[in-house]
Amino acid sequence: MTAFDINYTLGLFPILLKYIDITLSLTVISTVIAFAIAVIIAIIRTFEVKILLPFCDLYVSFLRGTPLLVQLFLFYYGLPQIFPFFSALDAYWASVLGLSLHFSAYMTESIRGAISSIEDGQFEAAYSLGMSKTQTFFYVVLPQAIRVAVPSLMNNFIDLIKSTSLAFTLGVPEIMAKAQLSAASSFKYFESFLAVAIVYWAIVVSFTYLQKKLEEKLNKAY
């Protein structure tokens, strides 16, 4: 039985932290893209745009109904076979594409649910002031819906942070990839994966704290 090597685990932290910027950049870029897509789809589904609604329903159903890892492989290895221009997509941006599309499907439901929770009186009050339907939605309803959706969206964001660990399967040199290489070369699997688990845990705890503060600030007026 091999004894636990705490010094090896501690020595891994400086190495893993060098690649934390890749993990965080994957998270932030994917979140921004996913949120933008989610808002558009939520609007289409809320107003039931007949031409686009079936495509949006299919989009959400497919991305929520298939594993993220399968989607990453599909975008990185599969799409170039059908569409050659996707061969220019490197592992990093293929990961961003996969993460963005996957989590946009979940964010769509969060935003749509938040929009549905806004009382009809908000629309009526805006109309009485002479605002159009579009103005009412973007200046009255959507800001309130985003506030309501913040807890759910932040949970999606935290899930996305952890899901970036799958990017190593495409060859992205983020912290999970470095932990995997370290474990394979040293055979110290427990030490290596414990170190990366602690790093992810620290990141998630930090953003959970920021989420709590953000919710307190947004709810202060209410």
Contact criterion met (CB below 8 Å) for 103 and 34: yes
| Contact criterion met (CB below 8 Å) for 175 and 95 | no
Measured between alpha carbons, how far is 44 from 148 in angstroms, rounded to an integer?
19
Domain 6-219: give its CATH superfamily.
MetI-like (1.10.3720.10)
- Contact call for residues 174 and 26 (beta carbons, < 8 A): yes
| Positive or negative: CA dihedral 55, 59, 60, 62 | positive
Domain boundaries, given as residue ranges, for the chain: 6-219
**Strand, helix or coil for residue 182:** helix
Return the residue matching tokens 């899930």.
159
- Output the tens digit of pLDDT for each of the chain's 222 residues: 567 888 998 999 999 999 999 999 999 999 999 999 999 999 898 888 889 999 999 999 999 999 999 999 999 999 889 888 888 889 999 999 999 999 999 999 999 888 888 887 877 888 888 888 778 888 888 888 888 888 899 999 999 999 999 999 999 989 999 899 888 888 889 999 999 999 999 999 999 999 999 888 877 766
